[in-house]
Amino acid sequence: MNTLEINNLRKEYVDHYTGETIPAIGEVTFSIGEGEFVSVLGPSGCGKTTVLNIVAGFIDHTAGDVLVHGKSVHGPGPDRGVVFQSHALFPWKTVLGNVTFGLRMKGVPRVERERAAADILELVGLSGFERKYPHELSGGMQQRLGLARVLVNEPEVMLMDEPFASIDAQTRRKLQQDLTEIFEKRRPTVFFVTHDIDEAVFLSDRVVVLSARPSTVAEIIDVDLPRPRTWRETVEDPRFREYTHHIEERLGGGEPDAQAG
């Protein structure tokens, strides 16, 4: 059984000014297996974040099903952890307070919470920053914390909404590399939304390419690149370029946003 299944998902909304019904998601079906890293890629405005928001339970869908381990989901829940582009950390909580938040909500005792937090902070490279507040961290560190805050809860599936999109190019490379290492160590199930083709291919086991709005699945590509992956080795692999060129063509080549950071 797949960890996450998205079946015939459709989303329409009513424009408040014109009263027209606008289709946002035409028909999207794909699934993610346990321990699999799947990216959803598409031109900006194609509705990929809408798909993620529906899976997260933040917004309703018009038709279709979202199943986690075969069970239909409604509303947000700790089985689906979300890493936001805007990181959405709690500014009034320390690094430790942010990381232990989900465990506290679950009722995990303090000692256990802090032990789990120490492991995760070590994993994302934030040991020693426990007492800092989010505003005292750099953008890259904030996003590591956003990742740690979700990883520590061991959700069934991690939903990542363009987490590196607003981070400078060099730090982004480093974060992608680190995310790959973390993924290879822990094997969480990941649903990753991005508009960066290189990022999608580098990180993923499979890439789901969405068409422009109303979005449908244009193609699903198996990324057959060896793990562990490093940027240096992966970009030299001719298959990496084949994948990215193929996806570029699929997206219409000229789509400037698909290449932009």
Q: Which stretch binds another protein (CB under 8 A): 3-11, 83-91, 190-198, 212-220?
A: 83-91
Per CB under 8 A, 232 contacts another protein:
no
**Chosen residue from 10, 69, 132, 250 binding another protein by CB under 8 A:** 132
Site membership for another protein, residue 222 (CB under 8 A): no
In the complex with another protein, the residue whose CB is nearer, 52 or 210, is: 52
Q: For 88, phi and psi rounded to 5 degrees?
A: 50, 40
CB nearer another protein, residue 150 or residue 200:
150
Q: How far apart are the first and last CA of the chain?
A: 35
Provide the residue type at 46 as one letter: C
Stretch that binds another protein, among 43-51, 71-79, 192-200, 233-241 (CB under 8 A): 71-79
102 binds another protein (CB under 8 A): yes
Which of residues 20, 136, 236, 237 is near another protein by CB under 8 A? 136
| 138 sits near another protein (criterion: CB under 8 A) | yes
What CA–CA distance (Å, rounded) separates 133 from 34?
34
Q: Where are the beta strands (DSSP E) in the chain?
A: 4-14, 21-32, 37-41, 63-68, 71-72, 80-83, 157-161, 190-194, 206-210, 215-222
Q: Is 153 in the site for another protein (CB under 8 A)?
A: yes
Enumerate residues 6+ apart whose C-beta is below 8 A from 22.
12, 13, 14, 15
Q: Stretches 23-31, 43-51, 148-156, 197-205: which one binds another protein (CB under 8 A)? A: 148-156
Q: Rule CB under 8 A: is residue 74 a binding residue for another protein?
A: no
Q: Does 101 bind another protein (CB under 8 A)?
A: yes
Q: Which amino acid appears at position 111 of this protein?
A: V
Distance CA 182, CA 13 (A): 38
80 counts as binding another protein under rule CB under 8 A:
yes
Sequence-distant (≥ 6) Cβ neighbours of residue 11 within 8 angstroms: 23, 24, 25, 47, 50, 54, 59, 61, 62
Helix, strand or coil for residue 96? helix
Question: Which residues make up the interface to another protein (CB under 8 A)?
Answer: 56-58, 75-78, 80-82, 84, 86, 88-92, 101-102, 105-106, 123-126, 129, 132-141, 149-150, 153, 171, 174, 178, 181
